[in-house]
């Protein structure tokens, strides 16, 4: 077992302020409340919205309604299971609001947000304050035993500048792109067909098949399409896991056909043959009234989105419920700026949680916030909780935030964050072996630390 991280301070924790009502902030607040700690959760909506947010509710999902694979032989599926066993609010809400998505866990985003908001608003230990916090030294934060910054990757410029000053260097950033959502009623069902890869009877995805000529015409339009401008003072850095479709297209004519548009596993029922390429649409709600264009996150201008995405067969008359967009994601160089308990090295009573620490993705952000809540709750009881082993998904993710790198980058949870298996195994068996080891190590750890949780 790994040693517990011992705090560099002897904070007496009974009152905590959390800045940001996203996934990480709500997870952290819930864990603290369950430990009897008084929490004030500051959320700037509806006083102010980031460029990507629209709903007044907490825990708004802005990039996709999918929490990705639910299979235990994937890193994110395994992390979700670990979170369930630790009593995650986000997993509770996701199960209550899930929509069909094959082997993935997807949710109705409005119902998901409403579920989390209802839990937080009705928690006697949590006070929700709808107010923007612009600085680590904001007067609203005075008097708290600990301050948690869970402002997400879209932290305001003023708060971002305050964090940058605290960590002693310019904060890092990358760009994240959002896929369009269209109305189901506007899809031509004589061209689109239901089915998941290798599962023609599955009704979780709609598929728009493309001929060779249609694909290359669409590819050319993406390359030529007018993009939203980048601010002069910002260098454009895309996170590989959420690359804009036009940026992918620029890598080569067949990049999309071998990537998000690959037709493998599909047969077009109208022709009885495999399409040259295929665009998948994933349901956004239980009523299947809206669909997300899978893999089509974009920074094209809105007018260009109207024109270019309607080139996809079946979407000629697409009605856009939400256009794709691009926004800046902000994060710190965690190994250099954070202690192992996610506190700032320069200000140990200030903690970071979620994507701003350098984890990437909904699930990973929620897990980070939940873990910080567990740490602070244990500390309030006068003890320290042992860090999960690096062979587990949560432990591997936390270890990523502690590992010095020449060019620190945000990371999704993956088996690559864990130690090697230390044994020979066929490629097709490795994920199962990683998962089996992780499940065993997590069970051992959970049994050992149960009294400190």
Dump pLDDT digits (tens) for 283-309.
Answer: 887 778 889 999 999 999 999 999 999
Contact of 282 with 291, CB cutoff 8 Å: yes
**In the predicted model, is pLDDT for residue 134 greater than 70?**
yes
Binding residues: 20-25
Dump pLDDT digits (tens) for 35-85.
Answer: 999 999 999 999 887 766 778 999 999 878 999 999 999 999 999 999 999
Q: Return d(Cα 150, Cα 28) in angstroms, integer.
A: 9
pLDDT value at position 198?
74
pLDDT value at position 310?
98
Least reliable range by pLDDT among 110-124, 137-151, 232-246: 232-246
Among 47-61, 105-119, 176-190, 414-428, the range of highest mean pLDDT? 105-119
**In the predicted model, is pLDDT for residue 1 greater than 50?**
no
**In the predicted model, is pLDDT for residue 183 greater than 70?**
yes
Other residues' Cβ atoms within 10 Å of the Cβ of residue 235: 9
- In this prediction the pTM is 0.81
pLDDT value at position 333?
92
Q: Find the distance separating the first CA and the last CA of the chain, reported in whole Å.
A: 16
Dump pLDDT digits (tens) for 398-429.
Answer: 999 999 987 788 888 999 899 989 888 887 88
Nearest partner of 368 among 144, 98, 82, judged by Cα: 82
Q: Which residues of 15-43 are buried (b: 16+ CB within 10 A; e: fewer)?
A: ebbbbbbbbbbbbbbbbbbbbebbbbbbb
Binding residues for FAD: 20-25
Chain centroid to CA 378:
26
Domains and CATH numbers, the chain: 15-171+332-452 (3.50.50.60), 177-327 (2.40.30.260)
């Amino acid at each position: 077992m790994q040693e517990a991280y011992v705090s560099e301070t002897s904070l007496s924790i009974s009152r905590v302020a959390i800045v940001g009502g996203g996934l990480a902030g709500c997870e952290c607040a819930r864990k603290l409340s369950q430990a009897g700690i008084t929490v004030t959760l500051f959320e700037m909506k509806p006083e102010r919205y980031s460029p990507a947010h629209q709903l007044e509710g907490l825990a708004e999902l802005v990039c996709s309604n999918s929490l990705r694979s639910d299979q235990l032989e994937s890193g994110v599926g395994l992390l979700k299971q670990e979170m369930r066993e630790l009593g995650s609010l986000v997993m509770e809400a996701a199960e209550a609001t899930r929509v069909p998505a094959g082997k993935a866990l997807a949710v109705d985003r409005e119902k998901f947000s409403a579920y989390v908001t209802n839990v937080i608003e009705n928690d006697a230990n949590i006070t929700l304050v709808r107010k923007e916090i612009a600085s680590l030294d904001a007067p609203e934060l005075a008097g708290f035993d600990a301050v948690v910054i869970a402002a997400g990757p879209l932290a305001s410029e003023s708060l971002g500048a305050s964090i940058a000053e605290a960590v002693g260097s310019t904060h890092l950033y990358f760009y994240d792109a959002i896929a369009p959502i269209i109305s189901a009623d506007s899809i031509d069902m004589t061209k689109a067909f239901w089915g998941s890869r290798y599962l023609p009877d599955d009704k979780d995805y709609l598929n728009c098949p493309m001929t060779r000529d249609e694909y290359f015409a669409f590819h050319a339009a993406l390359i030529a399409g007018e993009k939203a401008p980048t601010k002069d003072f910002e260098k454009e850095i895309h996170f590989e896991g959420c690359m804009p479709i036009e940026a992918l297209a620029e890598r080569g004519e067949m990049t999309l056909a071998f990537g998000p548009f690959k037709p493998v596993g599909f047969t077009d029922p109208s022709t009885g043959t495999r399409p040259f390429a295929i665009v998948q649409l994933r349901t956004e709600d239980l009523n299947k009234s809206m669909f997300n264009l899978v893999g089509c996150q974009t920074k094209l201008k809105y007018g260009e989105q109207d024109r270019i995405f309607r080139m996809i067969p079946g979407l000629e008359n697409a009605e856009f419920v939400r256009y794709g967009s691009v926004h800046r994601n902000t994060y710190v160089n965690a190994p250099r700026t954070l202690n192992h308990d996610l506190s700032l090295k320069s200000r140990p009573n200030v903690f970071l949680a979620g994507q701003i620490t350098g984890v990437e993705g909904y699930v990973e952000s929620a897990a980070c916030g939940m873990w910080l809540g567990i740490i602070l709750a244990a500390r309030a009881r006068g003890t320290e909780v042992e860090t999960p082993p690096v062979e587990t998904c949560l432990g591997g993710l936390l270890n990523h935030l502690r590992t010095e790198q020449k060019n620190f980058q945000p990371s999704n949870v993956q088996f690559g964050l864990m130690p090697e298996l230390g044994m020979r195994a066929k490629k097709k068996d490795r994920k199962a072996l990683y998962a089996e080891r992780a499940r065993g190590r997590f069970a051992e750890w959970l049994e050992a630390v149960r009294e400190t949780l």
